[in-house]
Amino acid sequence: MNHAIDLPQSLLKRLEKVTEGTRSTPVSIIKDAVKQRVAYEEYKRREIEAGLADIKAGRVYGKDEFQTQLAKARNERKKAA
């Protein structure tokens, strides 16, 4: 599946300049950027859904409990140092 996208001329010029003298092409840079962004968006969605599932299942700390756990972790780190 091929799709055309419109990019500003200034961005195209920057892509051409970045790829001059390299094995990369503007198209390869664009494809890589899109792949990375899609992977990030998929990861972000999974993490949000996992967090919402934790909230729904009650696997969360209240503010006071969180601060207690954080203080314990800090104290343990100080002891280890």
Q: Give 28-74 pLDDT, tens digit per residue.
A: 999 999 999 999 999 999 999 999 999 999 999 999 999 999 999 99
Query: Are the beta carbons of 15 and 29 closer than 8 angstroms?
Result: yes
Structural contact between residues 22 and 12, judged by C-beta atoms closer than 8 angstroms? no
pTM, rounded to two decimals: 0.73
pLDDT of residue 81: 85
Q: What is the DSSP-derived secondary structure letter of residue 20?
A: T
pLDDT in tens, 2-37: 889 999 999 999 999 999 999 999 999 999 999 999
Q: How far apart are CA 23 and CA 75, in angstroms?
A: 51
Kindly provide the residue ranges of all beta strands, DSSP E only, lying in the chain, ordered along the sequence. none
Q: Is 21 left (phi over 0), alpha (psi -120 to 50) or beta?
A: left
